[in-house]
Amino acid sequence: MIYLDNAATTFPKPPQVLRAMTGVMERFGANPGRGGHRLALQAGRVVEACREAAAALLGTSPERIIFTRCCTESLNLAILGFVRPGDEVVCSHGEHNAVMRPLARLVAEQSVAVKVLQPGEDGVLSAETLRQALTPRTRLVVLCHASNVTGVVQPMADLGAVCREKGVPLLVDAAQSAGVLEVSLDALNADMVAAPGHKGLLGPHGTGLLALREGIAPAPLMVGGTGSMSESILQPDILPDRYESGTLNLPGIAGLLAGISHLRRHHREIVQREHALNERLRRQLGQLPGVMLLGDEHAPRVAVTSIVPRQGDAGALGDALDRSGVAVRAGLHCAPAIHAWLGTLQSGAVRFSPGMYTTEEEVDGVCALVERLTRHS
């Protein structure tokens, strides 16, 4: 099988990730932060090492890194925990349902108003559009850093500077950019950054991160046992305990630590490789008469390319690729607003996302296959 669905989750993971996961489970699979025996302490040290590695990446102090199950959970915590009844939230056309659905719930249940900003023709949101949208009622701006449909990257530092200027906190959805682009709070002028552990950071499923700037304190989504201040029935305020009730995903976090460590050593070559593979893919797919390539040619982008067959539907093309041994993602990619903006809400699209283990031969073979499958359309 040729795996071109790395935007959903990276696969395969570096072998060190698998080894780290089985290693902790074989040697000290105790409960981190629960109890003072040496196995629990050893497990706790792995968790703290991963927290430190993530803190260095996201530019905050380790206790302001919150472990979650996925980017969706990080975004839910940031949005549902921060926005209050009657507030206004500003987001963009590029948001994933991981943002749109929590916002829709706030609209329905807490009279929150949501403004969805539209980009220029190149898919890039301008600082001026954002500036004009902000009002004294705006409690939060939520923006997707890199689109999971077109790959287009938003000028987040500039957009964040507008939020700073207006005193409105910015939450960045770094699902497609963490591990690829600079995603520290300072570099993006952000107050919260949500990231999956299982995509560009090369960790396993069931891992996600939320980085909080000092002074930003959403309400926790879940309360319960934290292994600290057990005498109190109230959720502790200390960080990260306030947000991390229940047993942590030790094997996942050990794998994420190995993924981030691998990335630190090989970041430049991985990113260059994925970019070159994606450009190779785009070049070839862009020449096929039977398909339409999505996303502006000149906008900065991550390694994600989507096409729409000129005849037939995206789902059928995705199925045909699967039958021929190619894994892609067809449909709306949980991002209906950008498909509405692209005019592809009815057709959907087929997304190709190469990864660090994809080869040039695989890319060329897949493009030749797409050509055959769409030739008569």
Q: Could you list the residues that contact ligand PLP (CB under 6 A)?
A: 8, 70-72, 96, 98, 144, 148, 173, 175-176, 196, 208
CA 314 to chain centre: 23
User: Shortest gap between Cβ of 197 and ligand PLP (angstroms)?
Assistant: 8
Question: Are 225 and 31 spatial neighbours (Cβ–Cβ below 8 Å)?
Answer: no
Q: Which residue number, 51 or 198, has a Cβ lying nearer to ligand PLP?
A: 198
Closest distance of CB 270 from ligand PLP, Å = 18
For ligand PLP, which is the closer residue by CB, 32 or 94?
94
Of the pair 218, 227, the CB lying nearest ligand PLP is at 218
Cα separation, 43 vs 21, whole angstroms: 12
CB of 341 to ligand PLP, least distance (A): 15
Q: Which is nearer to ligand PLP, 148 or 261 (CB)?
A: 148
**Residue (59 or 203) nearer to ligand PLP, CB:** 203
Q: Using CB atoms within 10 A of its CB, is residue 172 exposed (0-12), middle (13-18) or buried (19+)?
A: buried
The one-letter amino acid code at 224 reads G
Of 98 and 152, which CB lies nearer to ligand PLP in the complex structure? 98
Smallest distance, Å, CB 86 to ligand PLP?
26
Smaller CB distance to ligand PLP: residue 207 or 374? Answer: 207
Give the shortest CB-318-to-ligand PLP separation in angstroms. Answer: 16
| Residue placing its CB nearer to ligand PLP in the complex, 159 or 373 | 159
Residue closer to ligand PLP by CB (options 152, 288) is: 152
243, 253 in Cβ contact below 8 A? no
3-state SS string for the chain: CEECECCCCCCCCCHHHHHHHHHHHHHCCCCCCCCCCHHHHHHHHHHHHHHHHHHHHHCCCHHHEEEECCHHHHHHHHHHHHCCCCCEEEEECCCCHHHHHHHHHHHHHHCCEEEEECCCCCCCCCHHHHHHHCCCCEEEEEEECECCCCCEECCHHHHHHHHHHHCCCEEEECCCCECCECCCHHHHCCCEEEEECCCCCCCCCCCEEEEECCCCCCCCCCCCCCCCCCCCCCCCCCCCHHHCCCCCCHHHHHHHHHHHHHHHHHHHHHHHHHHHHHHHHHHHHHCCCCEEECCCCCCCECCCEEEEECCCCHHHHHHHHHHCCEECEEECCCCHHHHHHHCCCCCCEEEEECCCCCCHHHHHHHHHHHHHHHCCC
Closest CB 182 distance from ligand PLP, rounded Å: 17
Minimum distance of ligand PLP from residue 290's CB (angstroms):
27
What is the smallest separation between the CB atom of 13 and ligand PLP, expressed in angstroms?
Answer: 15
CB of 144 to ligand PLP, least distance (A): 5
